[in-house]
Structure 1
Amino acid sequence: MRHAFFTWVLSLGMAALCACSSAPAKKDDVKAPVLTAADSALIKKAVEAKAEKPKVEVDLEAAHEFFFLAKSMEMRGNQREADFFWKQAYKADPTSRYLGFGVAERLVAAGEDSLALVEAKKASQLKGKRTAAQYALLARLYVKTGEADSCRKYFVMGLDSSHYQDMALLYDYSLFLEAVRDENELVRIYDLLLPKVNYISTLFQRQLSLLLDLGRDSAVVELFGKAHEATGDKQMLLQKVRGLMAMKRFKEAAAIVDTLTSAKPEDEEMTIMVLPSMTGDSAYAFARKKYFEDGVKTPAVLCFIGQYEYDVDMRDSAKVHLLASVDKLQGQPKYANRAFLGLVNIFASEQNYAQAIKYAEKSDSVSNGDTRMLLASVYALADKYDKAFPLLDSLMKFWESWKPLPGVVDSANLVQLKNEAQIKYLQVLDIYSRALIGEALDLEKNPRADSVKKAKAIDNRTRAQAMLDKFFAKDSSYSRVRLSIAMNLERLKRYDESFRHFEVLLKMPEFSPHEMASTLNYYGYSLIELNRTPAEVEKGYKLVLDALAMEKDGESRDAYLDSKAWGLYRMGRYDEAYQAMQLIDHSKMSRDDVFWEHMGAIQEALGLKKDARKSYKKLLKLNPKHPAALKFFGKKK
């Protein structure tokens, strides 16, 4: 009725226009036609009506029948017939979004991606339930056509629709992100995907690599933590603790380690790892708690406990714990070597050189030669110079001629490598010179040493002095090396050179009280013994008194009292000298020929001939060729 009315109105209008056009126009009578609002609305409706698409014919009954036939064919495995019925069902109801996407899926399965995309696009415009699978299909089809923006749009829509629970869609989206190199978004998707695949190794490593490349250290640490929570893999927890330690998040690392209660290798490594971040006492208490209370009862933790006890001079306890750990550290050379070194120091301090050598040799066997200088030192301490010197010769030759490998010449580490080589060379000079001096001392103390051996002692000291001079030329800051030089020069009778070094040593602040007392006594006694002038003797005497004041009750007290008595003797104060000698524990000096030489001389000076005779007899037993004793008894040398 609306259309007929509109046509009739137009006809009337046209007729009127035609009629008016044949009459002469008058300017005053001509007016433009005016459309009312009602006319405009009517015209609009007419245009919209003409633009309407023809109604789509829908046969729901046929669509249902074809759909059920399609499902039946699929159940029977007749995919070709099933695809045909899917298409027929969609033809019967082309308004069905579900059927449209169903047809598109089957076109994809048949390899007809282009047609599938056309059908999926058409279906996406239809009404109906929107599903993650539909968005996923569109996303995957756009991947194949290379339309990145559309891919991303439908992947995101699909994942939002599935609340990011569709694992296959997450994985496909991750592949797309890999292709477009969107690393930040890829990290986010992997973070969602990894828990669903139980942190599978390949995906885990890819996420780890991404985070490292992006410099997201905290995220790396959290990744290992999440992986451990999901899988229970202690290696993941170990990596987390390593990361925390590298980032100096020590308290967090220690808090994790504090929860460990087993003796697995990872528990051991984590416990040892956090200990250096604590203060000494705290680390010791923590290690004891982990070992004795929390069940991290492993040899490496026990070794750490023993090491700490050695450092704080709990020698007996340290020895027990290091010995208990050392035999169980097979296969753990790093920790085993720590135990070996601790035991070397303990047994060497006890002068149990057989055991010290045993563990020094074990250390050398597991350290690839890194502790060979220590082994040479222990051989020298044990007077096994025939073993010490060949080792030191080879070490000297190696470090004297050391050069960096050709590939390292232009490296940024070249300076560091040269410095390390220099330090090694100086260490060899130090140890070798001390070994030579040690052998010289043994020869000098030997009362039965012939001229050949005496000459060898002098030769050793001369060689040692050359090595010490090389050391000193390269680094004169080591007070202990200067002390070795001063003492060795004194034995070589190069007194003035020796005393100049001693004067410098007395002004060095880095000596401990014990070391300073020993230096004062050595210098003082040398001045007294040399007896060149009364002023030097008096100076030496005062230095000895300073040494005694610094170490009144130490192990060296008796030696310092002997030096004091000898100073008094040189100054002619014999009574005081004898009183000082009486303060010495004679039982400790029974094997000391210098003590009996001094005692005999003081007694003789006091006119105590009988007592002097006894003292000189004891001296002769120790040293049958001692000139002072031979002179007392009127014998020739």
Structure 2
Amino acid sequence: MMKSRFLSLAAMVALSVMALSFGGCASSAKKGEVLTADDSVAIAKAVNAKLDSIKKASAEEPALPQNIDAAHESFIRAQEMELRGERALANVFWQHAAESDPNSRFLAFKLAEIMAAQGADSVALLQAQRANRLKGRPTAFQLGLLAHLYVKDGRADSARKYFNAALDTSRYQDMTLLYDYSLFLEAVQDGKELVRIYDLLLPQVNYMPTLFQRQLKLLLDQHKDSAVVELFAKGHEATGDKKMLLQMVQGLVFQKRLKEVRAVVDTLTESTPDDESMVVLLMSTLAETDRKAAYELLKKKYIEDGVRTPILANFLGHYEYLFGGLDSAKVHLKYAAENIVDQRVYVTSAYHTLSAIAFKENKPKDAVRYAEKADSVALGGDKAQLALTYGTAAMYGKAYKMLDSLIAVWDKWTPMEGIADSASMKRMAYDVERNRRQFRSVYARILCVEAQEIWQKDIGDSARVKKALALRERADVFYRDLAAKDSADLGIRVLMAMNLERMDRYDEAFAMFDYILGFAEPQVDVAEVQNYYGYTLIDLNRTPEELDKGIALVEKALLQSSKDKVSEPSEAYVDSWAWGLYRKGKFAEALETMKQITSPRFEDDFVYWEHMAAIQEALGMAAEAKASYKKLKKLQPHHPAVKKYFKK
């Protein structure tokens, strides 16, 4: 009806124009006149006026027939049917409502939704497109429906457009839309946009583990390390999960953002495994450049903040031992050894350090007892350390007997029949060779320990010196064999060079020390090597050049130990430096340097008293020199310096 009326109006306009035109022409033809400018203006006004009236009429009436009452009644009935669960009947009423009010955006989209639910995706898309052209404010649901239908139609660009429009309309608060859009992005493999959407979705699902892992993988694949850290931070803030906080700390450590790690660790006051792991992580990182800072951190967390676990007690005990706090070290290491569960490595190391402390306190029996406990915890796998402890405790017979037995076992080892896996064979062969080397190395070290003990008791007894030399020659055989089989083992070469020096084979020893120090990263205690080599050159005092080289090496040792920031430079290095000053004739400086040595263990060190007596004598301090020589005589009655002094 409306359509026919519209055509009639259009026809009327056309007829009016034609009448005006033909009328003009007829008149012109009849009268022989041409249209004037005023005539053209009049015609245009008439046409425009007619068109305006048509537009006004169209605006006043709907383009399609409406029955608002029927639409409203059907709308109510449709909702009632849905509440009853009668979906099919509800759909009939929804369709009737949409037909009764064809200009309703809501009802048009409802019809598209029903079509989509019935699997008629193509028809649903056409209906949704028509509905979207109707007047009214778009809702997130309507735009989202379009997005879903475009996905099914395979039109990715249009789907993306309407997903974003729907999310903008919902202010990104519609969780279902966010999730559906994320599935679409996964399908089109748009990782960058997917990261953004997951970042919005995760807080709404309380950082659901599966979604969290998806986001984590995306960030890792895109090498967004900082974003990974922020993800764990947000996850922890939302859930309170300490494991997320730990992973955040691990990420910060990886990025060297230690100030932020410190800020987190400073807040920890519980003794949970995660708190423990964070403290250990920061402590270990600090120790790479500043062990004293690591020690201070550990003390604060354990003693002041109450983060107390057996593992942290173990670390604290080791640091206390390193920095001279032997009494507290014993307390913490014993607690660790007795309370650490299922981590034998930590327990074994605790007993090792307790054994070392016992030796420092001149309690060899306790040292052996702790070493035996360590071997027991290691299920017999700590025999090398146990043998070395026996040797250090002067139980040489027991040490050699154990090592002879172990060496014989490993030298006779052959693989079991039936092992064909080449990888397994290689691993076993490596382990066997490692054991063979380890026990031979320990054997040589104990031989040197016994030789040193014999020599120190009385260096003036030629028979004893000869026995000590024989032990060192046996050790040299072991060292040469080990060095020949593994030229890269610089630790063996250090021990070998020291043994050669004790055998007075100086040039061989010095050549090996030079070889070791020639490596950019020798993987040995460089300061110890520098001091030993330097002191030997100073003590020999063969040439001015060697003396200067020895002093320079000791200087480097002092500098290296300061850089390590473990503790104050070793007092043995200070003694070497003082002896170098003495050799250069700087007696007053040498004395002041010797006064820096305060450790009680030097009270029984005959080399210390040898140096102190010589320096005091050079300065004319007769009484002090005599007292020092008396102490030296008590320790070494036949020392050449003692004989020379008292002979005078």
TM-score (norm 2): 0.69
Determine the C-alpha separation between the residues in 2 that align with 1:517 and 1:489: 21
- String of CA shifts for 1:327-363, please: whole Å, max 9, x gaps: 1222344544543342232123334344434444555
- String of CA shifts for 1:162-201, please: whole Å, max 9, x gaps: 1111111110010011111111111111111111111111
Match of 1:290 in 2: 301
Which of 168, 172, 176 lines up with 2:180 in the alignment?
A: 172
Q: CA separation of 1:76/1:9 partners in 2, compared to 1, >3 Å: closer, same or farther?
A: closer
Match of 1:43 in 2: 47
Displacement of 1:468 after TM fit?
3.9
Which of 225, 228, 231 lines up with 1:220 in the alignment?
A: 228
Q: CA separation of 1:557/1:445 partners in 2, compared to 1, >3 Å: closer, same or farther?
A: closer
Match of 1:569 in 2: none
Q: CA separation of 1:372/1:131 partners in 2, compared to 1, >3 Å: closer, same or farther?
A: farther
C-alpha contact 2:143 2:166 (8 A) present in aligned 1: yes
Determine the C-alpha separation between the residues in 2 that align with 1:458 and 1:443: 10
Determine the C-alpha separation between the residues in 2 that align with 1:300 and 1:44: 94
Match of 2:125 in 1: 117
Q: CA separation of 1:365/1:546 partners in 2, compared to 1, >3 Å: closer, same or farther?
A: farther
Determine the C-alpha separation between the residues in 1 that align with 2:291 and 2:43: 98
Identical-pair percentage: 38
Match of 2:113 in 1: 105
User: Does residue 555 in structure 1 map to residue 603 in structure 2?
Assistant: yes
Match of 2:637 in 1: 595
Determine the C-alpha separation between the residues in 2 that align with 1:257 and 1:135: 48
Match of 2:143 in 1: 135
Structure 1 stretches of 5 or more lacking a match?
399-404, 409-417, 448-452, 522-538, 567-575, 607-637
C-alpha contact 1:436 1:460 (8 A) present in aligned 2: yes
Q: CA separation of 1:597/1:189 partners in 2, compared to 1, >3 Å: closer, same or farther?
A: closer
Match of 1:67 in 2: 75
Q: Which structure: larger Rg?
A: 1
C-alpha contact 1:376 1:392 (8 A) present in aligned 2: no
Match of 2:359 in 1: 348
Match of 1:450 in 2: none
Q: CA separation of 1:484/1:350 partners in 2, compared to 1, >3 Å: closer, same or farther?
A: farther
Displacement of 1:486 after TM fit?
1.6
Displacement of 1:215 after TM fit?
1.1
Match of 2:333 in 1: 322
SS in 2 for 1:36: helix
Match of 1:621 in 2: none
SS in 1 for 2:630: coil
Q: CA separation of 1:269/1:369 partners in 2, compared to 1, >3 Å: closer, same or farther?
A: farther
- The equivalences for 1:403-442 within 5 A come to 431-439=442-450
C-alpha contact 1:379 1:387 (8 A) present in aligned 2: no
Which of 574, 584, 592 lines up with 2:630 in the alignment?
A: 584
Q: CA separation of 1:349/1:37 partners in 2, compared to 1, >3 Å: closer, same or farther?
A: farther
Letter in structure 2 aligned against 1:221: V
C-alpha contact 1:443 1:454 (8 A) present in aligned 2: yes
Displacement of 1:292 after TM fit?
2.5
Displacement of 1:294 after TM fit?
2.0
Displacement of 1:127 after TM fit?
1.7
Letter in structure 1 aligned against 2:402: K
C-alpha contact 2:105 2:135 (8 A) present in aligned 1: yes
- String of CA shifts for 1:522-548, please: whole Å, max 9, x gaps: xxxxxxxxxxxxxxxxx99x9xx9999
Which of 247, 250, 272 lines up with 2:255 in the alignment?
A: 247
- The equivalences for 1:375-390 within 5 A come to 375-382=386-393, 383=395, 384-390=399-405
Q: Which has the larger displacement, 326-335 or 352-361?
A: 352-361
Letter in structure 1 aligned against 2:603: E
Displacement of 1:54 after TM fit?
7.9
Letter in structure 2 aligned against 1:36: S
Match of 1:307 in 2: 318
Which of 7, 12, 16 lines up with 2:15 in the alignment?
A: 7
Determine the C-alpha separation between the residues in 1 that align with 2:317 and 2:97: 83
Letter in structure 1 aligned against 2:70: A
C-alpha contact 2:276 2:312 (8 A) present in aligned 1: yes
User: Does residue 181 in structure 1 map to residue 192 in structure 2?
Assistant: no
C-alpha contact 2:68 2:101 (8 A) present in aligned 1: yes
- String of CA shifts for 1:387-446, please: whole Å, max 9, x gaps: 245556778999xxxxxx9889xxxxxxxxx9x999999987754422223345678999
Match of 1:571 in 2: none
Q: CA separation of 1:109/1:289 partners in 2, compared to 1, >3 Å: closer, same or farther?
A: same
Letter in structure 1 aligned against 2:637: F
C-alpha contact 1:306 1:318 (8 A) present in aligned 2: yes
- String of CA shifts for 1:16-71, please: whole Å, max 9, x gaps: 53565589x8xxx7678886345335435656849969831100111111112212
Structure 2 stretches of 5 or more lacking a match?
1-8, 414-420, 425-429, 459-463, 513-532, 559-569, 615-621
C-alpha contact 1:139 1:155 (8 A) present in aligned 2: yes
Match of 2:241 in 1: 233
Determine the C-alpha separation between the residues in 1 that align with 2:504 and 2:610: 23
Q: CA separation of 1:161/1:335 partners in 2, compared to 1, >3 Å: closer, same or farther?
A: farther
Displacement of 1:484 after TM fit?
2.1
Q: CA separation of 1:86/1:136 partners in 2, compared to 1, >3 Å: closer, same or farther?
A: same
- String of CA shifts for 1:293-343, please: whole Å, max 9, x gaps: 322122222223222221111222222222222212223445445433422
C-alpha contact 1:562 1:580 (8 A) present in aligned 2: no
Letter in structure 2 aligned against 1:514: A
C-alpha contact 2:476 2:496 (8 A) present in aligned 1: no
Match of 2:501 in 1: 486
Determine the C-alpha separation between the residues in 1 that align with 2:498 and 2:469: 18
C-alpha contact 2:472 2:499 (8 A) present in aligned 1: no
- The equivalences for 1:143-182 within 5 A come to 143-182=151-190
Letter in structure 2 aligned against 1:306: G
SS in 1 for 2:204: helix
Match of 2:203 in 1: 195
Determine the C-alpha separation between the residues in 2 that align with 1:109 and 1:565: 104
Q: Which has the larger displacement, 184-193 or 5-14?
A: 5-14
C-alpha contact 1:562 1:584 (8 A) present in aligned 2: no
C-alpha contact 1:347 1:353 (8 A) present in aligned 2: yes
C-alpha contact 2:479 2:492 (8 A) present in aligned 1: no
SS in 2 for 1:595: coil
Determine the C-alpha separation between the residues in 2 that align with 1:316 and 1:90: 89
Larger relative contact order (Cα-Cα within 8 Å, sequence gap ≥ 6): 2
Q: Which has the larger displacement, 213-222 or 461-470?
A: 461-470
Displacement of 1:87 after TM fit?
0.5
Determine the C-alpha separation between the residues in 2 that align with 1:316 and 1:40: 113
- String of CA shifts for 1:245-287, please: whole Å, max 9, x gaps: 1111101111111111111111111112212444444433332
C-alpha contact 1:392 1:432 (8 A) present in aligned 2: no
Q: CA separation of 1:79/1:350 partners in 2, compared to 1, >3 Å: closer, same or farther?
A: same
C-alpha contact 2:455 2:468 (8 A) present in aligned 1: yes
Displacement of 1:95 after TM fit?
0.9
TM-score (norm 1): 0.70
Q: CA separation of 1:429/1:76 partners in 2, compared to 1, >3 Å: closer, same or farther?
A: same
SS in 2 for 1:55: coil
Q: CA separation of 1:256/1:562 partners in 2, compared to 1, >3 Å: closer, same or farther?
A: closer
Q: Which has the larger displacement, 31-40 or 202-211?
A: 31-40
